[in-house]
Structure formats: structure tokens, C-alpha cells
Structure 1
């Protein structure tokens, strides 16, 4: 009798719903404008994010050509085999975070009028979780079919709205045909990011079937509320359990439950395997048309609720109708004493300072017993380490008591762990890189003629130097679409070294020089403590260059919704460094996120601001830029490169045959760019002190940008000499005077020459590889004390290095810094080499 009454009441409620005007249907506010293009046409979805099952010719009709309304090379992606009923070829798009997909647009291969291929039909497959999970095939909730109509010709794009949104991190477009035919496609996706983090849910059996449920997501997570036709799930048997699974650990603050006006008795909420909390409903807090919202403020229940799984148990009398459940939450990366460290490739790092009552960015969850245990173990290990270190120190001091460098007798070093040989042969050093395929021109022509008609004769007569900022036909040809600019742009440095712009140079293209480590590092090359930013050292007072009394314009504040963290790559006693992505104008940028540890924020604040003021004034095309900062929590987002460094690049091509002319022109272009960056720093009386290929970011168009991140990265630790008091010294690159007195601008010239020696040695071995660190240190100090310009101490001539270039390197290694050439003259020297290469290309 009771079940019969419940059924009758449910039928009556559904009947009432059917009488309501459909105009009452609502979208959640964050999804009202969820129809923006996701970046296939604009390039925000990069070439590295596009793969395919096969392609007829990867350089001509590969997946990177599948951009709607864009004519690149062959004009579209074309699979290698014809498409039929039983074929399976696909274009895969990596979105790197969860998106709601509302529509898909396709287009055939126009190919400037030469193309004849297009897809009449296609299917959509998608993934929400990791790459090992099963692919889900989209089906229309109105027709229950998986086949979607495509194009009718090669040139008209067709945009298809999806009957139900797809929540996905990865998309496959699968062309389909009822008869065998050749197919080519261009694609665009439309939708918006989803920050809720839900990747699946499961419920108790419902009265009516959810025709949008794909095995993980359905009506409860579609952003639609109050749709009388199909957005309600109903139950008539209490209790009802709904379990949500999230992509990562999250800190939950509020739960919003959208129901009809039926007052369920209570709700039990359970986070992971923790004890559940019980919420008693007193009154519906707010309503949207016929939909009522119960907002559960979790802060009222005392504890901080963390988890990857949330289970909600409803208890009610008659019937329950739910249309949507949303969670206000923040992703959490658990650090130090946490239960786990999240290594998801695309996890937004939330650094929130909206309220003093909220937790700081990277929430550290400690458990008392775990803290005591770990602290005890670390203390015991530290005591043993101190005893061992003191014992080694005493032995080392007695062994070297006869050391003839008396003024340095109190400095004791320990050698970095590095493989060396006594025969002087090069030992190849490897470095990690992302393995990305770098574009190379088929004909090995690196330099092409450029038109200088837009440079005035007045500027040329002043001896101005010209270098390309961005161009589709730059000095170094690359495979498109490495640049989306339509015309040449140049920046001009005049005879007074004042930086000006020529033609149209966007204000967004501002380069702020940033540093590597967060925390204090003793640099022996400058007899003082350099903290937080150890990349640039003022040679003298720079008040003549900067007006410190004027208001400093810092980079923009970090937009936490655009920041994605990949993993932690380094940690010092004062800070941590993460790698990730930062979205600027819908374009994903590879970045390093450098964070001052929470307990040092107050101590480090003034140093952070002082050095940030200097960095915010720096602006050069060959210096890594500072994208954004956070002044309350003291962290910054700094430019990095997905291709790694110059050293990574040379290691990657070490097994490839390179034309000698191409190799020489490439190195000259690298040398010119590096000299340009140092010329800019020297004009501001700033010294770098760590110039090497490991500190030159490499980009696919052969641009390099000087940075100072290597010192903080473990993969380069064998290239530094670690002293017993924690100093890191780039001993094999450093100028002699930087060890004994203090560095000058000419010290960077010395290191610049060692870096060029690396280039022409193809980064195959470390400088002075036959000497240990102690032996090299003694020879440098002895040579400096004797003030003897010993030519035999110079690095040997690399096999592929021209004699003219090597002579320049030897001049830069002069023991007397004042006799080394000026960096401005060096930049001009390589500029003329580039001009000469162009003239030879034109004449041939």
C-alpha cells in the first residue's frame, strides 16, 4: 500500500513538471556562455597536443594541419588509409584539463582549391581520466545514434551542436563513411573549462532512465537545471546514495543541491573513508523558478574536508527529485608531510589569498604522530651527518695544511660527483628533456634573405643593429605554424643602446628577466649574499638607470584559474620550484612556478620586493620573461621552454647528421642572440655570473632566451661545485677574478666564451673535463695570483670551430679582464657574420 502511494505521488509530480513552461529551464551561471572556441584555429591547442592514428604525409597533411579555417601546408589532416564502415582512424586532441564540449565544427581539405576530400560523417570519442581508461563514444540523447553529420564539400565548415555536453580531457574525432573513400578533416571544438573536478558518479537505481549517462557522467553534472523534459533524476525508495569521484584530492567548502520542493529529512556526507557528517534540512535557502537550492556550508561542521571521493546519502519520506549537484572546492597538492604528492599533468595549483581566514596556497596537512616520527628520524640522521662531516673536515684540513694558497686556506670544498678522465677525453653528459620533435628545414637552409627596406637610412648610418623579433620568415626557417604573425617585425638598438621599437610591437610582448632559485644562495662570484633571485647582480648603484622613487609597475597578478602545475622539480631550504602551464590570451605557456616557503614569507618579503623591482624593469627579446607574480604569498610564474635548453637540444641531435654549413650558421645565430642579451644587461651594469648552455632556453624557431634556472635544477648539479657551506659555483665557466675578488661586466664575457666553446663542441663534454674540481680551482687561483696569461690553460680548439671564432674565444679568456673585448663589439661581430651569410645566399 505504501509503495503504491509513493508511486502515485511520483507520477503526479512528474505530471506537474510537464505543465511547467520550458522557458524556466536554466543554466548554471558559469555555463551560460559555454560556447567559446577552444583553440584549434587560434593555435592555443598546440601542435604537441595533436596526434593521429595515421597520416598520409606527416609534414604535409599531419594532425597539426587539422585547424579549421586555416590553410597550412596540405590544408588538413588526412589519414593514411581510406575510410569505410569498419575502418578506425582518428584525430586525437589533448585538452590537458577537463572541458565541457558543447559543439564540434568540421571542415574538409580545400587546399587552395586543389583539395577534394572531406568527411560526410564522423563519431566522437573521449576520455575524462588518465590515458589508460576506456574511450567513451558519444551518442545523441535525442536519436541515440553515434554517427554525426559532417560536411558536404571541402570549403564550408559545419558546426554541430551536441544534444548533451561532453565532459572530457581528451577528444578523438573518428571519420566515418558508408562506402570506401579518402577523407581529410579540419576541426574546432567549442565549450568552456570545467573546474568542479568530478570525473564520474554512480547512484542508487532511479525510477527513470538517464539517457545522458555515459557510464560516469549524466544529468547531475551537466550544468543544466530545471529542464522539465530530461534533467531530473527521481527516486521513491529511501535512502538514496550518490557517490562522486574527483580527478584529484580537493578541499571542499560548499555543496549545492538543486531539488524540487520536497523536504528530505537529512543528508549524510562522507569524504573518502572518513566519518560522515549529518546535515539536517531546516528550510530551502534559495530557489530558481521551480528549482530549489540547498546550500551546505561545510565550514559550519568544524573540520577541513579533503578527499577524492564524496558520498551523499539522502533520507526522505516519499520521493526525491534532483537535477544538479555542484561542489565549491579547490585542488590540493599535498606537500612534505602529506599523504600523497599529486603528479597529474594538468592540476590547477590554487594559491588563494582572498581571506585571511582561508588556508594558504599549497595546504600542508600534518598529522601529529607522523610529524613526531619523521622529525625524530631526521634529527637522528642530521646528528650522524654532522659527526661524519666534522670527521671529514678534520682529515681534509690536515691533508692540505701545506696548501700554498694561504689566503684561501679556510675554504674547503667537496667535489661534485662527476665522471672525469685523466686523459682529457670528453665524457658525454646527458640531460633530461621532453623529447619533443624539433622542426628542421628539409634543405638545411637556416638563413634566408630579409628585406630591410623598412629600416631607415638614418638608423643604418648610426650603426644600429637589427634583429628579428617574430616572423614567419625569420632568419631561421621552421615548419609552420611556428609563428602566426603575418609580417616582419624588428626591434632596433641605436648607438646609445636605448631600446626602442620599430613597426608595431604589442605591449603584451614585454620581457622581464627573472631568476632561478627561491631562497638565499652564497655566490662566491660576488662577495655577498644573494637571496630569492640570484640571476643578476648590480655592478654598481643602478639609480642612474632606474628611478626607484617612481612607482614600479610589477607584472600582472597570478590568475589562479589559468595556472596548471605538472610536478615539483626542485626544492631548496627556502623555496620550491614547480613546472607547469600558464594561459595567456588563451595560449598555453610553459612556465616555472617559484614559491617562497610559508614560514619564510615575512622574513623574505622585503628582499623579494627589492629584487622584483629590478627584474620588472628588464625588457629584452633574448631574456626569459616574468609572466605574473603574487605579492601576498610571494611566488612568481616565469617563462620556460617546452623544448628545454640549448644543452638539451644538442644532446637531442647528437645522433643526427648535420650539414657543416648549417651547424656553423646555427651556432653563429645562437652566439649573436646571447651576445645581444649580455649587451643589454651590461648597459644596465648588471652581471649574470652563470652563463652556460644550460641557462639558455631553446625554442622551435631557434630563438634562445637567457635565464638562470639551472642552478636550482638537480639535472645540472654535476656542472656545479658544491662547497661545504652550501655555495654552488659554476667553476668550469667562471672568470678567475670572480673567485678571488669580485666579478665585473668582463667576467660575463669570459663565461660567454666558454658557452660558445660548448656550442662548437656540440655540448658533448664539460669544460676542463680532464681536471677534477679541486685541481681546476688550484690552477685558476695560481694563474690569477701570478697574473700570467698562460695560453696552455685555454680550452682546446673544438674540431668544428673556425680558427677565427676560436681566436675570439681566446681573447675573451684573457687573464686581465680589461683586455677582453667589449660585449657590444662581440654582438656586432656576429651580426656581420649573419649579414654576410645572407649576402652569400642572395648571390648564390
Structure 2
């Protein structure tokens, strides 16, 4: 045991150091408003230049917002006629940035200066050679600036700029002298997209009204960036816009299939370097009543050097003729390396409209750390290594000499008086040491204990926890994590239970493949796929205790999990174990294993599938009962029906917890909806591209549903029934918001992980999901109890089920 913990912490050290190198993150447009370094000095003097200067004391390097160095600002040497003056202050950001806001200030210099620019223009460049004049969404170039020398004036850039070089160009007349201090606000442009070219957007006539669907902020002739990268997603109704005083259709770039004989629109995207692409997200309009739909299929080609790859990837999203809402369609790019991507989007109706396209890419092995920071980085790493080695020695000393192996390290945090007291260590010293340990322990486990466990296919041990005497607990024993055909774990099973299962025969019958008719692919993973099929006569292969609510001889919708023929031996064994587990699950609110196809490859297991699909999509297509639903004529779900569905989920989880099974991925995407609001819990939501945004990807491999995970699952890698209870609270919140937004949608993935640290510290700074408008107080109180920091104080699923029955509307 000592050796195991030593190896664990040394591995933790390795992973922590590895993760000190910044990783690429998805750009968060709503929070991309940080100062880029003029006022704080991150932008170096050598990266600030100007067309001219009054004197050495008013040079470009003094044009920093809120700074009073030199003579207090950059001031150009003005000569010639005003209309011929092209003075500028130029900033080189060293890489492409997404710039959303600018700030300006005049020269105050402690009261001795009174020069400022009343108006100015901005030019920008991505390569330093081609300069583009910025215009707002109404086509105006001139920006209103300062009215005195000391106030800072901030201006939103609508549309925002994607550039490396920025020039501030004061609009000058000879009535006053001009000086400027400036700041840029935004964040690094992590997409790496340098330009795209696409067919010109077209014009629609609708009820006598012209709808202009052109790319109105496109900044190039053949190559450039525009509305597809401006961070603004179009509204559901394309005739309206977020922006005032613009024409109908402004938010979208759109095309009609009448203009494309080949049936598709081709867009080519060029990037700053060769990247490892994971996904593309396309925001599409789906107002099908106006003959506008998302694309039927997309085919993408990749160019890594000079040649295009011969074999493209193809993706077909599920068509939606029920919900007219605009939506992001996520396309997996399967880690293709490319510097350019060419995609052909096929029409599914007369019109196709996009408002935003973004790309996510993994680590680029050619991306180097800036040499100017290398020495600082090495010094920091050496210091951290020494600190962590000392921490590991202390940990092992505690484990060996004080016999603390059975206790969670978290029991040592928070209150110094609760520590065991060795005779020769003063209390004050001990507290100081363990405060350092506590802080480091969190970081180690964020980056190692959970993440590395989630990204491996082998069985692991969960850290032991204190439990009631005589009560069986999932985390007490070795855990069998089955990879599953789709690359995600199926229900996690205690090793003891797995041993009992392994000695029994599988009580499911062989089903003839010829009686399965393929309908569509639901999802896929590393070792297999999940297909939606129609099964003919499957009623004859079922147990006596199970019956279908269908007419005799009618085909039945089923989900077929299929193992790839080239899957390795471990995946094949996991598949067989998964069949054994699924065959034992018999509950009205758990998806049942109906039959198998084992006589030949590919191996298949056939499970139930509910005709209304998953709960997330089902609720997102509906509205709560009320005036809005009446006015929009949208389908509704009553609160009583929501409550009924939540009670069924609690009942199904009560059954799983009674078997000491831990789901690990409870969410609305993993609950299927049948007739009369029947709910059954499933486990293949992870495999669906539709929900890839719900999972946090670790180094391009493991994916984790962090927005549904308890703090101890993220920080410590502990998965228990109590962590499933936490996920149930989030699932209940999803339902009462009708799945209109992601949990913690205002937080980035990294901020979600940081928030779990606040739950651990429990200093009342943690952020909880807010009470949904239609959620009664007793139900929200139940949610909050599911998110209690102390796992023992969270309710059991039996208690949750009982509470929901008691507060039935």
C-alpha cells in the first residue's frame, strides 16, 4: 500500500508539471474582455511604435492607458493638411487576438497637459502587410473618443477585431493638439483561423420584405474574416437581430439551393499553422416553416502541407422538424492534422443559414514556449519540484508512522485542532506544513488522481472512505470500470459484484441479425457504435417478466451497441462483461438488455429505445405551460409531468444504488422518454456528437461530464452513490429549465473546476446553480441537499424518491 501511494504521488508530480504548460481552450466570447497589457506592461516597449512623435518624452512607448511616464502620453508630430494626416500609434500583440473593446485617454501629466483626441479611427492587420479599416455594423469608421485629458473612454468594437497589429489613428484638425494613451481588451484567438472564403450570401424575399443574408462585416476580397467569426450567434427568427438599426437577416450568412447545382455550399478555412483538429461547431438556423434547415450532410477535406488528403470525413446531423430553434451542430474532426480545411455543406431544404463557425484543436507539438519566459519557467518548475518532493515525504511519513492509510487526506484539512498530535511537533508548525499540503493536494488531484484515472482503460482503486459499519459501499472495494463500445464507462461495478456476475450465465437470447433494420447512427466511440434500428419480432425473444406496449407483429425501435471487429482483446472482454451486467438490470426505469448477436462478428447487444428520444432533446423542444407557450403555439410539458419524470429517475437510481452500482454520467441526455412521459435511464449519451460540448476533454482522449460531477469526483476521483446524488440534483435542474442552457453556462470549463475547489474549501464562495423560475422552494431545497459538501449529509436515492412522492403537485 505504501508503494502504491508513493507511485501515485510521483505520477501526480509528473502530471502537475505537464499541466503547468498552458493548454488551448475554447474561446469564451462573453468573457473575452481582459486588458491585453498596455497599462500593466505585458506589452513591451519594443512592440509599440508610431508614425512620429513630438519628442523623446512623448514617444510611442508612453502611450499606455492610465500611465504618467515621460510627458504622459504619445503625441504625434503633426505636419501638413488635416485631410492628408495619417498619424498612428501601432501595437504588435505578437499573435492573433480577439479584440472586443478599446480604451483611450488624453495627456494629463499631473495637470500640466491638456491634449486629447476627440475622435479616431482604427486599422488592423493579421500579417503586418495588409491593413484593414475597422467599421462598425452600420459602416461608420470614426469612433467618438475623449472630451478631456484624464477620463478613460471605453468603446465596444462591434464587430470585434481578429488581428495581431492594431493602429490607433487620431482624426486631427489644427484647432487643438492631440495626444493619446490607449489600451486593448480581449483574449488570444485560439481558433487559429486566419481567413475563410465562401460564396457571397444571398437575398431572400419574404412577404414582400427583402432579407439580406450577406456577410456584411467580411474584411477581405477573396480571403478574410467576418460574421462567421464575430462571436454573435443569430436569433431563432432570422428576420430579427441582436443589433439595432440593421436590416432583416443581418445576423446570418445564407444561401439558396437554387444557386448551387451540386447541392452544397463550399467554405474553405485557413489557419495560422498545422493544428490537430477535434471538432467544428456550426451555428445554424432551423426555421423550417420558412424552408430554412440545418445542413443535411457536411463533407470536409484536410490539407496539412501543400496537398489535400484524398479521403474526407463525412457527418450527417439528425434532422429536426419539430424544434425551430437555431442551434450549434457539432462535427467531429477526429484529430486530423491540417493547416486548411475545406467543407461542403449540403442543403436539406431551400435555404441554409449560418451565423458562426468555430474550431477546436488539441495540442500542437510544434508550438514552442516563448524563449523570453524559458528561464522563469524552469526556475518555477525546479521550485515546485522541491516543494512537492517535501510534501510527498511528509505524506508517506504520516502514512507509515501514524497508520493513517484508512483515512481520506481531506479529513486533515480545514481545522488544525482535528489533526493527530505527534509529541515532538508544535501545533503551529504542523498547521503551517499541512496548509501547504492542502493547497498542493488539490492541484495534484485536479490534474492527476481523477483525470489520469479517467483516461485509462485499466481497473483502478478508489481512495478508501469512512462508511457505516456493516453497510456495503461501492468505494470500499476494487472497482471494475468497463470501457464500453462507445469509449465511455458503463455503470461502474464493485469488484465483488462483478465476481458474482462472472459465475452466472447470460440470460439473454441470440437474435437474428437479418431481423434488424438500420435507421440512423446514434453515436460512436473508440471501440464501437450505437445504432438506432427497427427489430422485427423481438417480443418472442424476451423474458416473461417484460412486455412491449406495441401491437403484435409491429416492429420495435431498439438501440444496438456494436463492437468493432478490430477491437482489441480488452475491449472485447469488457463488452462481454457489460452484457452480463446489463442482463441483471431489471427495473421499469432502467433500459433493458433485450437480446444479443454473438454468433458472429460484429458482436451486438440490443437494448430498449424509447420513441421520444432522450430527455434533453425532448424538453428542449417543449415549453412550460403558460402565456409564452400559448402565443408561440409551442408544445408544452406541465410541471406535474416534469415531477412525474423526475420521480421515475429517482426510482431507477434507487434500484441501481441498491445493487451498489454507480452510474457516473447521470444527466438528461442519458434518460430516454417513452409514451405517457415514461422515463428509462440509459448510458450512451457520451457517445453522441450532439453532446460533445457537455464533456471536458483531457489531452484529446478522456472526456468528463464535469458540469454534472461532484467536487470529490473531480478533485479526488471518488465515484460513489453520493456523487450520483449530486448529478441527480443537476439533472433535476436541467429538467426545470427545460434544458435551455448548460449547467453553469456562465462559467468556462476551467472555472467549473475552480468552483469545485470552493466547495472543498467551504468558505461560502462556491457558486450554486440558481433556482429555476418554475421550481418550487421544496424542490430547490432538495437540489441544494444533493450538492452538500459532506457526502454523508446528501440524501440517499431512497430518501429523494420518498421526498418527491411526498411533494407531488
TM-score (norm 2): 0.40
Structure 1 length normalisation: TM-score? Answer: 0.38
Of Structure 1 and Structure 2, which has the larger fraction of its residues in helix? Answer: 2
